[in-house]
Amino acid sequence: MSKKEPMPYKALVNVYEALAATTKRLEKTRILADFFSEIDAELLPIVTILSLGKVYPVWSRQEMGVGSQLLMKAVAQAVGVTPLEVEDQIREQGDIGSAAETLFQKKSQITFFKKKLTIEMVYNNLRKLATVSGNKSQSRKINIILELLSSASPQEAKYITGTVLEELRVGVGEGIIRDSISEAFGVDKNFLDRAYMLTNDLGLVAKVAQSEGDEGLSSLTLKPGKPVKPMLAKLADSIKETVSDLGFLYCETKYDGIRVQVHRQNSEIKIFTRRLENISNAVPDVVEYINQALPQDDFIVEGELIVTKEGKPISFQYILQRVRRKYDIDKLIKEVPLSLYLFDILYFQKPLIDDPLEHRRKILENIINPVKGYVELSQQVKVTMDNVEEAEYLFEESVKLGHEGIMLKDPQAPYIPGIRGKKMLKYKSEPETLDLVVVGGTYGRGKRAHLIGSYLLALKDENGNLKTIAHVATGLDDETLIELSKRMEDLVIERKGRQIKVEAKIILEIAYSEIVKSPEYESGYSLRFPVVKRIRDDLTLEDIDTLPRVDSMFKNN
């Protein structure tokens, strides 16, 4: 479609409706591919990110900063009801978008201007929310949202409000977007996947695919400032077997902390978590030590942030306190000191991810000036079958110091973002765990009637749909139960007696004794004796475990 006239927001809403009406991945891909093929080059990046229900990429520091309470006030003003009535409608409908649609259909007090909404207008207004701060910021944000809602149809209101809270509910993830771009512009999926891996920018990838095809995609590369998804590890069955298979390995301590990616771009240092959140402002001490330990050139290095006390790592939850903190940071720096152990480098003056690990590690070793106790290299041994006992000793010593175990890495392997393969394995002191999302819960009885005592857990199937797999009721102390119960209250979408359904936001790491077949849960599996190991606020919904993985684990046991 030409750029003669701005594209109406209703065109995108029609696509959302079509996507929500099917659960079939191929059908969703076709719907989006047809739509993308009609969009001009300037609008395509906007449409791409809006299709994910976002206006900013995860790694951006910008955020709309609108919570559910503020949005309920905006909807209430738009349709002439009280925020309490909006909240009641959310309980009845299950989410803010459906509630807004229902209320707009019933609106009687407001005369709308009927200004025609365009895609760019909606996008620009929502991005404007991130720029509002200071005095009367809440009322100013409400006015920005009202500017859209005052001209919105019920369906448009549904998707505007869903986008504000990033709760679009049309069943589209990054994989479907990538497939749609490939189909729309006839580009090779391998080029496209690699381009996305290296840029982490679907809007840019879509625009280049449209205008420059495979050749343009192949020229996109890694740049400091934009994080890439981390290379992932599979579980090793044994140290000796892995060394025997690969012949030569790098073995490193597996630190029990938060994996981070550190970028230097000109004079600015940015630190991203595994979920690609920029936490630089929360850890200024780490930024300063990195500045001391590494050169002034542009780079991307990877490592693990841990909290130590008397030389041993302490609870993972202390690290989460640090990276979440927005206030009183100086006080927490002293109370919760962080150490960074670096183990890989992805960029130094140029991209390095296609280089073998052996070469990357040498570069890292050559450029680092360790700051003892604050920024150091990961502990590593080089192992063949002739000295396999060194790997076993490193494992034992790492566990004694309170770490998780060791990593076993192929020195000849390139860095492959977002891929879990045999080039990097983990060997842990405890059995494998699953990262699962909470989708519901059950309140206790008696003195614990105000606490959620049992949590309903889900994983993702091959199409990204959530499927339940277990209830878990053990592994949480009273303090954590109180915290989780409060967080769950803010996420409730349905109540029935003591049971609730919640938005899929809270991720738990679950240990268990066995995976078994079970018709009780939607996945077809259940977990015997599940126990909560920890809350995984460092992960996103994209990171939770999948049904194909559980299928594989069940068949291999």
Q: Which residues are catalytic?
A: 254
Name the region of 65 (left: φ>0; alpha: ψ -120 to 50; beta: rest): left
Q: Distance (Å, rounded) from C-alpha 265 to C-alpha 270?
A: 8
By C-alpha distance, which of 279, 263, 269 is closest to 326? 279
b/e 232-244 (16+ beta carbons within 10 angstroms → b)? ebeebeebeebbe
For residue 329, report the phi and psi dihedrals to the nearest 5 degrees. -65, -40
User: 288: Cβ–Cβ under 8 A, 6 or more apart, which residues?
Assistant: none
Secondary structure of 380-416 in the HEC alphabet? EEEECHHHHHHHHHHHHHHHHCCCCEEEEECCCCCCC
The secondary structure of 30-59, three-state, reads HHHHHHHCCCCCCCHHHHHHHHCCCCCCCC
The distance from CA 245 to its chain's CA centroid, rounded to whole angstroms, is: 33
DSSP 213: H
Q: Rounded CA gap, 312 and 488, in Å?
A: 33
From CA 410, how far away is CA 77, in angstroms rounded? 59
Residue at 480: amino acid letter: T
Secondary structure class of 507 (helix, strand, coil): strand
DSSP-derived 3-state class of residue 441: strand
Report the Cα–Cα distance between both ends of the chain, in Å, rounded: 54
Hey, is 348 helix, strand or coil? strand
What is the rounded distance in angstroms from the CA atom of residue 195 to the CA atom of residue 201? Answer: 9
Q: What is the DSSP pairing of strand 525-528 with strand 531-535?
A: unpaired
